[in-house]
Structure 1
Amino acid sequence: MSSIVILLSIVGTVLVGAVSPGPSFVLVSHTAIIRSRQAGLAAALGMGIGGAVFALLALAGLNALLMRVEWAYLLFKLLGGAYLAYLGVRIWRGASLPLPPERGEGKKRGEGAWRSFFLGAATQLSNPKTALVYGSIFAAFLPASPEAWLFTALPLAVFLIEAGWYAVVALVFSAERPRAAYGRAKHVVDRIAGAVLVGLGIRLILDAVRLRPV
């Protein structure tokens, strides 16, 4: 199998995983609606950076390390679960607040974009299973001695997939009609989104507790 075919196979597999709904989708869509299109795109960029970091770490063997050093993997899951639960509680608590108007320009808007960027990156990095998934995909497709250029191409491809997909999500959900529809059902949608994130966070925590070393 040529290196080009290997790269395309990995890209296709990662793309399928990226478009599957999860906490990243909830965060980007919520950010785009509540804050602004710019904030949603910044969160999408953060998702891309977080995905590229995990891809680099997977290539470096982080997935093997996490599987061997059980306490590190469990700690990672506990912290990631607590972070997702925290985000979910924040969204739930804001469900009763009215939808804010479009944000202003200037320094405040720029600060909001940076905050959304870091929030997106942190959300992506909060799930250690992502590193294991990338590691599994790479192990399934990469030969024992892959060409050197793949070690640069793969993180870049993951970044483009993650950032590109969530940029589409941000553009769709920041449009006028979706935002207006959300405004009419904000209290319900926010509670559902918050509950989803809290549920995912608790699931990570319970997994860590269940798998803790005896």
Structure 2
Amino acid sequence: MDLVAALPAFVVAVVLISASPGPAMALILRRAALRGVAGAVPTVLGLEAGLYVWALCAGAGLAALVAASEAAYLVLRVVGAAVLLYLGVRSWRAAWAARGAGAAAPINPAPAAPSPRSWWRAFGEGALVMLANPKAAAFMIAFYPQFVPAGRPLLATTALLALLQVAVETVLYLGLAAVVGRAGAWFRRPAVRRRLDAVSGTVLVALGLRMAAEGR
């Protein structure tokens, strides 16, 4: 199989994978709704940085070791579940703290650009959610070898394919964030934001519980 000939199928697969619901999508949608597309940028970049690290680990054979190790897989599963539960409970607390705000309370239709501290915190959350997901390791070792032609170096080819995946997903996710961000003034209405925090918190907690309960 020629690498260039395999690229269209690879891009289609990446698009389909990116559109599937999960922790990444939940984080991006909430961040875009409340902070606009600029606020979603660090979350997207953090998720893609974590994805690229897992892709390099897959190319180097490290992801296979993680997936094969019961202890490593369990640790990652517990950490990943804890991260999702933490983010979910934090959203619940935000919804609870805002319960007294009226629907007609003043809103900021144009949120300020994230400060360096909040930018890196959002980036770190995205990266941690991806890196602490053992399913990502299992996925990478099953996905990339299908598109690496025989005789080509696995690590270098995987690194190139992962760059393409990062580029495609970044465009898709930021496009989605831009669409959601256009309705940001509505999402930032106190009553709507309260419900959004409650719903996103429930989704993240459910994903965390599922990750904690699932086996391989």
Could you tell me which residue of structure 1 aligns to residue 33 of structure 2?
33
| Structure-2 residue corresponding to 1:11 | 11
Secondary structure of 1:24's aligned partner: helix
Identical-residue share of aligned pairs (%)? 32
Alpha-carbon shift at residue 63 of structure 1 (Å): 3.3
1:63 and 2:63 equivalent?
A: yes
Letter in 2 for 1:117: F
Does the alignment pair 1:168 with 2:193?
Answer: no
Which amino acid counterpart does residue 124 of structure 1 have in structure 2? M
Residues 182 and 189 in structure 1, CA contact (< 8 A), matched pair in contact too: no
Q: What are the equivalent positions in structure 2 for 1:126-141 lying under 5 Å apart?
A: 126-141=132-147
**Distance in 2 separating the partners of 1:89 and 1:100:** 24
Contact kept? 1:95, 1:191, Cα under 8 Å:
yes
> Structure 1 stretch 180-189 or stretch 42-51: which is displaced more?
180-189
Task: Go from structure 1 to structure 2 and tell me whether the alpha carbon gap of 1:32 and 1:118 turns closer, same or farther (over 3 Å shift).
Answer: same
Q: Which runs of 4+ in 1 moved over 6 A?
A: none
**Aligned-pair RMSD on alpha carbons?**
2.4
Q: Distance in 2 between matches of 1:36 and 1:110?
A: 16
Are the equivalent residues in 2 in contact too, given 1:58–1:135 (CA < 8 A)? yes
The answer (yes or no) to whether the contact 1:54–1:130 under 8 Å persists in 2 is yes
SS, match of residue 47 in structure 2: helix
Q: Which moved more, 1:131-140 or 1:73-82?
A: 131-140
Measured in 2, the distance between the counterparts of 1:120 and 1:167 equals 14
Corresponding position: 1:72 with 2:72: yes
- C-alpha distance 23-151 of structure 1, shift in aligned 2 (>3 A): closer
Cα distance, 1:181–1:80 mapped onto 2, change above 3 Å:
closer
Q: After TM superposition, give the deviation of residue 146 of structure 1 in Å.
A: 2.2
Report the TM-score when normalising by structure 2: 0.83
Farther-moved stretch of structure 1 (12-21 vs 30-39): 30-39
In the alignment, which residue of structure 2 is the partner of 1:84? 84
The equivalent of 1:124 in structure 2 is 130
Matched, 1:190 2:197: yes
Once the two structures are superposed, what CA deviation does each residue of 1:108-137 show, in whole Å capped at 9, x if it has no partner? Answer: 623322222222222222312112112111
Question: Aligned partners of 1:58, 1:9: CA distance in 2, in Å?
Answer: 20
Sort the Cα spacing of 1:72 and 1:46 in 2 relative to 1 into closer, same or farther, 3 A: same
- Structure 2 residue runs without a partner (length 5+): none
Secondary structure of the residue that 2:214 maps to in structure 1?
helix
SS in 2 for 1:185: helix
Q: Which runs of 5+ in 1 are unaligned?
A: none
